[in-house]
Each structure stands twice: as C-alpha cells, then as structure tokens.
Structure 1
Amino acid sequence: MSSRWVTDMEACFRTTRCLDELKTTFGTSMFRGVAQRWWNDMLAINGNDYPDKITWEEFKTEFFKNFRSESEVERLKTELQNTRQGSMDLITFRTHFIDRLQFSPEYINNEMSKCRLFHGLLRNEIRKRIIISQFRSFTALFDAARDIEDEIKRESIAMQKKESFNSKRKVEQSNSPQKKGKFSSDGKKGGNSTPPRVCFTCERKEEERKEVVRKLERSAGAPKGRSFQMTVDEARKSSEVVSGTFLVNSIPAKVMFDSGADRSFVATRFAPRLCKVLSTLKSPLEVEIADDKTKLVVGVYKNCNLDINSVMYNVDLIPMAMGEFDVIVGMDWLSRNRANISVMKRLFG
C-alpha cells in the first residue's frame, strides 16, 4: 500500500507540475490515520519547517523505513520479473510493469536491460514480431508494441468478418434449389427430342476449381516489398540508405531512403498525423518482415507531401509497424524521381 501511495502521489506531481521543493509539503498534506500520526511525530522532533529541509527522495527513504517491509519489496521484485502480459492490454501491462520497476534499480538505470525484460514478458503474438536488438529506448519499444497490438486487433476483426462471410455463403449454398435434384431438364413434355441433362454437382465443383485458379493467379501477380526496421545508428553505417529529418505533410519525421525497399512505408504510430484518408491498393502487397515472415497489406495513404530542401514531392505511404523511423522511402519513389542513394548521401549525409 505504501508503494502504491507513493506512485499515485508522483503521478499527481506530474499532472500538476508540482515544483520539487513543494513535493514533500504537498504529499504529506494528504496523510490520514496512522500516517498522519507518524508525520506529526516527525514534525514534533524536527520542527514544523522540516518539509522545507528534506527533498522528496529523502522523505521517501524515511517513509518506506516505517511503512514498507523488505518482504514487500522482494515480492514486488518477483512480480516484476514473473508477471507476463497475458490477457492485459499493453497500457494496463505497462502500468503494472512501471509500478514494480521502481524497486529494481538495476533495470531503472539500464535502458537496454529494461527493454529486454519488458520484451520477454510480452504476449507471444506481439513479442515474436519485434526484433529487440533494434530498440535503444523503452518508449520506442512500447510504441512499436502498441502498433503491433493494434495491427493484431485489425487482423482479428478482418478474420472474423471473413469467417462470418464464409459461414453465410455455406448456408446459402446448402439452401440452393440445385441441391434438390441431381439432374434437371427444361424440355417440354411430349417433345420429340431429349434435352441435354446437366449435373449441377459437377458444374458446381468445376466452378469452385476455376475460382481457386483465379485466386492463385491474382496472388501470384501481387507485388512484393520489404520494410527494414533499422535503427538510426544502423542507418548511418549502411551504404544502401540515407536518413534524416524531413517534413512529411508539414510534420517533422525521421525518414530513411532505402534502395533495398520496393515500396514506401509509414509507421502506424505516425500515420494518424498525416491527416489523410487510407485508400486501398490496386492489388495486395506482400511485405517481408522479421525472420523471413511476410505480411499481406492492402491500405495506402496516397499523395503525401515530402519536403526536400523546400521542394515538394508526392509519395504513397503504406502503413506498417516499424522501429525508430517514421517513414521509409523505397524504390517506387526513388526510381520515379531518378534519385540516387550515393548522390543523396553527399547532399544529406
């Protein structure tokens, strides 16, 4: 309870932008019951100006000595390392994680250790889509995980719609009059010629076979692309990319020009800032992601403005969960504008 109270108070400090020298006075004014009696004793011993003499960190040390046991600290440390995300959404899990992190200074003071611990506790479907070595800050890792969580939700909704459609189609087919008889004839009674008979079962199977072939042909013609989730440091060292900060729809964005990417992409966390309507690609795009896995995408933000040295260029951006960069500009834009990576390195590198 004492740890939760401190966490809640520090959240209030951030919200109210409380000055450091007023934190102890403000915090202790919220005491009630046993805590209030303890604080009155402290004032009686140290004087009424005691809150002005100690910092908030010094106050917490004294407070925890009296209201938090070592067994509670050990319990919270164990919870930090063993409590997985499970069914919690990412915001709830992050709150749980941060609350318990304060009792493990070895993680607080080491950003990479904190990232690795958080990554290891994520749900498997989120964790397997993240390459942890690409992240240097906890904030960037959390943002990427949020993007993936949103993406998974969209995929789930799309799958549910597809299953609902397929179920409805099966019901309609089972109720079709073609099921009532194997053969039909439209010949008139008493006619001299025997009309041709049609096997509806065979005809339906043939139509289903053709539909499968058509789907395979469409998927075979779908363009492929790949999106590198490089870090800023990796981009600086690569000879195949150029990176920098440019205005995209008048918003500063970390942009990477990548000759190894077939198409251009925008991070899903950055996409809402474009203030553009998401359109549909002419054909699905298969994008290579981590561990040789691919993802099929269908959306695109068309005709976004890319400002390079006060010259405006149009670029179509496909939303994808990405690492540190906001926008990746690929060969679709580079070839259309006859841009050369080596020349751009001399200009912006």
Structure 2
Amino acid sequence: MEKAFAVMKCNEEEKLRFGVYMLKGPANHWYRGELRIRQGKEFESWEQLRKALFCKYFTRDKMVQFERKFINLTQGSMSVDEYEMEFDRLSRYAPKLVDDDQSRARRFEGGLQAHIRRGLAALHLTSYAEVVGRAKSLDTVWGDTKDQSVRFRKKRDRSF
C-alpha cells in the first residue's frame, strides 16, 4: 500500500481512505470492530491505522520469531537466488543487524554455503550488490561443475 501511495502521490487523507478501502477479510472485520469499540470515531491518519494494524497482526512474539529466523538464516539447500529472496524478506525484522550496506553484505555472505564463501573470500567485496552478484555467479559455476562431474562419473561407470 505504501508503494501505491507513493505512485499515486496520495496526501494523508487519501492514504487513510484508500487504506481503509483496501482492508479485506479478517482485517476488514477487525477494522469494523475497532470502529465499534471507538464508538464510530475514525482513525485520524494512515500512520495511526498502520500502527494499529501492525500491533494486531505483528505481535512482539511474532516479530521476535521472524528476527530469530533471520539471525539463523543460512543458504542450506537453497539456490543463491532463493537465499537472497528469503534474506531480503526476513531482514526487515532485524534492521539493526543490516543497517548499512557493508553490514548487509557481511551478514549475507556469512550465511552462504562454505564453498561459495571460500570463493568470495579473496575478493574482499564490501557492497551487498557485489556480494550477491558474485555469489550468484559462483553458484552457477558450482552447479555447472557439479553437473559435469556427475555426467563424467556416469560415463566412466558405463565404460566399466
């Protein structure tokens, strides 16, 4: 919604009206209940409604849970592309851990598979975009090399 507000250049009143309009399902039921509790008194601003929504749907426990998921995130069996998407999704729950480009790059690199980290070590990259780009390249090369190795072994095994 914030993205839509920016594109449409909404003023504060429009943000609130559009935000209320976009509430669907359980969020809309919650909003209607809030109006009853507030005796019909509308929210004064989009920011006030946004904060109330976050308190309702992102409890402290839920935020801590997502923060822990981010802290413990590693590439594991994911591709670098998949790891990057999950890293970006969860990083918003631990903003202090990735508050600048270099911290973001180090945290991302630290969660990569060991063979990719080894490939990045000699490069001394400091920006997130560079680390992600090089990691993706290494992941592709690693996959190609692994595929070639498997084909070679199958071919060798058939010749015996």
TM-score (norm 1): 0.39
Q: Is 1:45 aligned to residue 38 of structure 2?
A: no
**Contact 1:115 1:138 survives alignment (8 Å):** yes
Describe the SS at the equivalent of 1:88.
coil
Matched, 1:64 2:54: yes
2:153 equivalent in structure 1: 163
Structure 2 regions of 5+ residues with no counterpart?
none
| Structure 2 residue aligned with 1:130 | 120
Following superposition of structure 1 onto structure 2, how do residues 92-103 of structure 1 map, counting pairs within 5 Å? 92-103=82-93
Q: TM-score, normalised by structure 2?
A: 0.77
Using the TM superposition, give the Cα deviation of residue 134 of structure 1 relative to its aligned residue in structure 2, in angstroms: 2.5
Aligned residues: 153
Query: For residues 139 and 26 of structure 1, do their structure 2 counterparts lie closer, same or farther at Cα, with a shift above 3 Å needed?
Result: farther
Could you tell me which of 63, 70, 73 is aligned with 1:83?
A: 73
Code of the residue aligned with 2:64 in structure 1: it is E
Following superposition, the deviation at residue 100 of structure 1 comes to 1.5
| Alignment-derived partner of residue 18 in structure 1 | 7
Q: 2:132 aligns with which of 137, 142, 145?
A: 142
Asked whether the equivalents of residues 76 and 103 of structure 1 are also in contact (C-alpha less than 8 Å), the reply is yes
Q: Looking at secondary structure, tell me which structure has more strand per residue.
A: 1
* Amino acid in the other structure paired with 2:25: G
RMSD, aligned CA: 2.9
* Counterparts of 1:166 and 1:96, CA distance in 2: 39
Alignment match, 2:22 = 30
Report deviation, 1:86: 0.7
Distance in 1 between residues matched to 2:110 and 2:102, nearest whole Å: 12
| Equivalent residues in 2 for 1:272-291, closer than 5 Å | none
Structure 1 residues 165, 34: closer, same or farther in 2, change over 3 A? closer
User: 1:62: how far off?
Assistant: 2.6
Is the contact made by 1:116 and 1:132 (CA closer than 8 Å) also made in structure 2?
no
Q: 1:54: which partner in 2? A: 46
**What residue number does 1:121 align with?**
111
Q: Secondary structure at the match of 2:77?
A: coil
Shift of 1:165: 2.3
2:51 and 2:131 map into 1 onto residues whose CA distance is 31
Query: What amino acid is the match of 2:63?
Result: V
Call closer, same or farther: CA 1:112–1:154 in 2, change over 3 Å.
same
- Measure, in 2, the Cα distance between the counterparts of 1:148 and 1:81: 23
Q: CA deviation at 1:101?
A: 0.9
Partner of 1:74: 64
Instruction: After TM superposition, give the deviation of residue 28 of structure 1 in Å.
Output: 4.1
C-alpha displacement of 1:54? 3.1
- TM-superposed CA distance for 1:63, in Å, is 1.5
Bigger proportion of residues as helix: 2
Q: Which residue does the alignment assign to 1:327?
A: none
**Where do 5+ consecutive residues of structure 1 fail to align?**
1-8, 171-349
Q: Following the alignment from structure 1 to structure 2, what is the Cα–Cα distance between the partners of residues 27 and 134?
A: 45
Pairwise CA distance, 1:75 = 0.9
Counterparts in 2 of 1:25 and 1:80: CA distance versus 1, 3 Å: farther
Is the 2:19–2:46 contact (alpha carbons within 8 Å) kept by the matching residues of 1?
no
Change (3 A) 1:46 1:133: farther
Q: Give me the whole-angstrom Cα distance separating, in 1, the residues matched to 2:126 and 2:9.
A: 29
Partner of 1:330: none
